[in-house]
Structure 1
Amino acid sequence: MTAVRDRALAIVELLAHNVHGLPMSEIGDRLGIPRTAAHRVLADLKESGYVKQDPNSSQYMLTVKLASLGLSYLAATGITDAAQPLLDDLAQASGELVRLAVVEGDDLIWVAKAQGARTGLRYDPDAGLEIYLPATANGLAFLAAVDEDRALALVSRQGMDRAREMGPGAPQTLRALMEQIAQTKERGFAVVFDAYEAGTSAVAAVIRIDEKSEPIGTVSIAGPSIRMTRERMDAFGPKVLQCAEALALASRSSPMFGRR
């Protein structure tokens, strides 16, 4: 039973990163699941309403049922009610994309956003579920807020190989990453230029109840690098720190943070 449940979760996570769907054979091959077993688990997920199959391509993809459950859960925690007005204010003040991520175990997960850009270039990516820590402002802010041993463990878990596929500003070695983490600690907030992808930059701050507590999330401002100059990023730093402090206070009303 446990093996079936683990396989079902693995398939759901894989399909969450492939919104256009995947054929059954590729799902099995990617996850190392025998194709007969993959077919059986997909049939169960389809019967439960979490997966559907395109009648033309026969590819499997998630239905909106899982997204609906996620949104319902976030609404029930109160996090969107508490955080959204603060994100909206920061987005309006910056004119850029503002996003909130929460710490879940060893991961940073996107949970809310606000778009401040009304005209011209708009940065609003489909970032997926898990945030890649070495090449994002949110990741740097998180890594700078934990002790060095944990930071190294978190980086080791995700690996540095993916940095080669990111923008030219992504650190390519562990030493370069540790230097950026040290700079983030000294500055008080994280900044990245053309790191996650070329042409985009961001500034982020960690959210925690007090200086001695563990991080509970991060908040960031991101936009096209043509607008996100170093001077503008420095000006955004204090604003994102103020928002992080306000979010820390607001988080006390949400059981999502209260259990930490």
Structure 2
Amino acid sequence: MSSRSRGIAILELLTSHPWGLSVGEIAEQLAIPAAATVRVLSSLVESGYVHGSGKDGHYRLSPKLPALGLAFLGASGITDLVQPILDDLAKKTGELVRIAAISTDKLTWVAKSQGARSGLLYDPEAAADVYLPASANGQAWLCCLPDAEIRRLVSDEEINRPGFGSGAPKTFADLMKAIDIARQRGYASVRDSYAVGTSAMAIPIMRQSTRRPIGTLSVAGPTMRMTEARMKEIFPWLQSSAKELEAASGSSPLFAAQ
């Protein structure tokens, strides 16, 4: 792995650890020699993308990288074009609405709107990339792909990743069963999968000219509210919002490469 690749891997890892990690933790999780980890971290600190916290030896992201991301999202039209659509859907459903964009082999969160104003709230600290097998967004994207492509994107080891709820698929066969149901129903849904006590539903956002997926749109909330009956009520609103996003996507360079 080159120094550049190691630097990117460290930045991606630190996005999930806002309080930082030690050199040893970073080296272990990324399987990079400790000496090489120190060298790459030094370069990232010098460039301003990472802060070293001094006494405890932990490293965390500086505001520079998130600021660049926010600047790009603003320039791409997400704020002006997408946010009002998300806000409207969140108001109608009273739940968390999120959009994720497809980038090569990954699905990345790009915007959200919280519709719940009181009571139980579901608003997780999300990693940058969506975990495909256990999430409604991930399954919604996979529904659009041939089975062989799904197998390429999701390995058996990936499905067995710890830290998710009891409703998460345990095998590739479990995942394909969920995808088959989603294809027949018109939307993907999960229960106690991405997070215990929560449920979500999602559909793909398609490029109008090619009918290829460019992202996904989801509604998520506490399972006690997001029942199957409630999802059926939400589905027409979700479809309508996805159509609006499909139309708006042509004006945003964020989706131009899809």
Alignment TM-score, normalising by the size of structure 1: 0.94
Matching residue of 2:188: 190
Q: CA deviation at 1:55?
A: 2.7
Distance in 2 of aligned mates of 1:177 and 1:125 = 23
Q: CA deviation at 1:56?
A: 3.1
Long gaps (5+) in structure 2: none
Please say if 1:57 is aligned against 2:56: yes
RMSD: 1.6
Identity %: 47
Please say if 1:79 is aligned against 2:71: no
2:232 aligned to 231, 234, 238, which one? Answer: 234
Please say if 1:155 is aligned against 2:154: yes
CA displacement, residues 8-53 of structure 1 (integer Å, 9 cap, x when unaligned): 1111111112111111122223222222221121111111111111
Q: CA deviation at 1:180?
A: 1.0
Q: CA deviation at 1:211?
A: 8.8
Q: How do 1:16-55 and structure 2 match up within 5 A? A: 16-55=15-54
The secondary structure found in structure 2 opposite 1:133 is coil
Relative to total residues, which structure has the larger helix share, 1 or 2?
A: 1
Distance in 2 of aligned mates of 1:56 and 1:253 = 48
Distance in 1 of aligned mates of 2:35 and 2:158 = 32
The secondary structure found in structure 2 opposite 1:165 is coil
Alignment TM-score, normalising by the size of structure 2: 0.95
* Preserved contact between residue 167 and residue 192 of structure 2 (Cα < 8 Å): yes
Distance in 1 of aligned mates of 2:17 and 2:213 = 30
Q: CA deviation at 1:212?
A: 5.2
Q: CA deviation at 1:63?
A: 0.4
Distance in 2 of aligned mates of 1:143 and 1:255 = 23
The secondary structure found in structure 1 opposite 2:32 is coil
The range that moved more, 74-83 or 206-215, is 206-215
Give the residue type in structure 1 aligned to 2:59. Answer: Y
* Preserved contact between residue 156 and residue 171 of structure 2 (Cα < 8 Å): no
Matching residue of 1:102: 101
Distance in 1 of aligned mates of 2:13 and 2:257 = 28
Q: Kindly report structure 1 stretches of 4+ aligned residues shifted beyond 4 Å.
A: none
Long gaps (5+) in structure 1: none
Distance in 2 of aligned mates of 1:168 and 1:29 = 28
Give the residue type in structure 2 aligned to 1:136. Answer: S
Q: CA deviation at 1:72?
A: 0.5
CA displacement, residues 145-170 of structure 1 (integer Å, 9 cap, x when unaligned): 112211221112872112x5321211
* Preserved contact between residue 132 and residue 158 of structure 1 (Cα < 8 Å): no
* Preserved contact between residue 156 and residue 172 of structure 2 (Cα < 8 Å): no
